[in-house]
Amino acid sequence: MTFYSALNSSQAHKQDAQPVKEILFFHRRMQFKRSRSQKKRVHRAVQSALAFRRRYS
């Protein structure tokens, strides 16, 4: 089971799927505009997504 299919099929951990969407959204945005607050949000999203991947891989 891949990381993304695990996210999609997990009902108990729906809140863990949100950081992934933030990563994809802000990664695209950050190529144009890099404010410090956006970098912090991306960093937090990446960390939580990596933690999720470690738990469910």
Residue, of 45 and 23, whose pLDDT is higher: 45
Q: Classify the phi-psi angles of 44: left when phi > 0, otherwise alpha if psi is within -120 to 50, otherwise beta.
A: alpha
Read off the pLDDT of residues 8-33 as tens digits, 9 standing for 90 and up: 555 545 555 566 666 666 666 666 56
Residue, of 21 and 6, whose pLDDT is higher: 21
Q: What is the model's pTM?
A: 0.32
